[in-house]
Chain A
Amino acid sequence: MSIDKQLREELRKGADSMHCPPDLYGRVQQSYQQYVNEKRGRSPMKKRILVGIAAIAILIPSAALAGSYLADDIFGSSATIEQHGGSQEDYQVIEEMLQAAKGKLTEDEFKEYMELTKQMVQLKLKITDENGVVHEESLTKEEQQLFEQLASKLGPYFEKINATSNP
């Protein structure tokens, strides 16, 4: 047998006879714990600032996106309101209102509120001309009834939104 081969074999056998003492685990684990604590506690302030920045970075675009989404649900796009004498600013005001509602109402309530508002807006758009003048007389009798129904259903929601926003 060549010395290379025999060396390999004896080293392997020798290694097999060496066993890591089980109690060494406790010690290494302790060092590990220390490392983890050190790592976590290194600078909690710095970490908090980083988390804050990350949160803002995520929130800003989602707020901006959600902003256009909410009013878009009602109108389709800001072009709709511009065709009826509204401006981009009006659209923004409505958007803020919807955002406020979203914050104040529960999820189910908000869904219902959005649905009602949508119907209401459809009616209003129908009777509003391109100069923003409302022609209520152009509503049919059924439509008028629906309008009142919607208004009465929306009433409690408005109260709720306004009550909590101006206590």
Chain B
Amino acid sequence: MNDKELLPWLEKATSGDESAFQLVYQATHQDVYRTVAFLVYSKQDIEDIVNEAYIRMWRSFHTYDPQRPFRYWLHGIVVRQVQDWKRKAWRRIRLFERNRQMTREQFEWTDKAVLQSEMQLELFRLVRQLSYKLRVVVILRYFHDYALEEIADMLQIPVGTVKSRHHLALKELRKRFELTGGDAYVY
């Protein structure tokens, strides 16, 4: 189902039609979940954020501009929800505890993912090790295919900042990629 077809359903869902809600959820939940899971690693946190992103979706549907692509609006909500969560999380939990927890989960999760796909997803693993600020740019650029200007708009930061983060992220990835020897033409 494409964005245009989804819109009337979303509108119905917003006014209280439960079957429309089901349909919208089915059409979007994998995308929403994956976007969040790229940015946040704890299973519990991912689920909290997905839930909150949907709540935000109903509540701010009236601000949606039909001239713009639906997914762009949706991803904007998801990303802002993640940022909100991070802001709160830093206040709530002590830094080092959080880091330890994150690293452990990250590796458990990645191992599983790699096993499941039976692929050496070296770059994917490296992306997950990037700092959040760099990672979010990489995900929006290479997973969702947004232009750097769009990413700036979504993250509400200057384009110049996005460009420098993008550049930094790629530099970091190249460096680590060579170090781990995961380059495709080694084999």
Contacts and interface: CB of A to CB of B under 8 A. Distances in A.
Interface in B87-125: 113, 116-117, 119, 121-124
A12 B170 contact: no
A32 B57 CA distance: 10
Nearest to B109: A18
Contact of B116 (A11, A17, A27, A33): A17
Contacts of A16: 117
Interface residues of A, number: 30
A3 B16 contact: no
B59 A20 contact: no
B16 A24 contact: no
Contact of A31 (B30, B54, B142, B184): B54
B177 interface: yes
Nearest to A36: B16
Interface in B30-62: 30, 32-34, 37-38, 47, 50-51, 54-55, 58-59
Given A11-B143, A24-B29, A31-B51, A39 B16 contact: yes
Contacts of B177: 3
A17 B117 contact: yes
Contacts of A17: 113, 116-117
Interface of A is mostly: helix
A15 B38 CA distance: 8
Contacts of A28: 25, 29, 50-51, 54
B127 interface: yes
Interface string A1-27: 101101110111111111111001101
B122 A10 contact: yes
A13 B119 contact: yes
B30 A20 contact: yes
Contacts of A35: 55, 58-59
Interface in A27-82: 27-29, 31-33, 35-36, 39-40
Given A27-B51, A35-B59, A20 B29 contact: yes
A1 to B, nearest CB: 6
B136 interface: no
A142 B114 CA distance: 103
Contacts of B116: 17
Given A7-B138, A8-B142, A11-B143, 11 more contacts: A7-B127, A10-B121, A11-B124, A15-B34, A18-B113, A20-B33, A24-B47, A28-B51, A31-B51, A32-B54, A32-B58
5 contacts: A7-B173, A10-B127, A11-B38, A11-B143, A32-B13
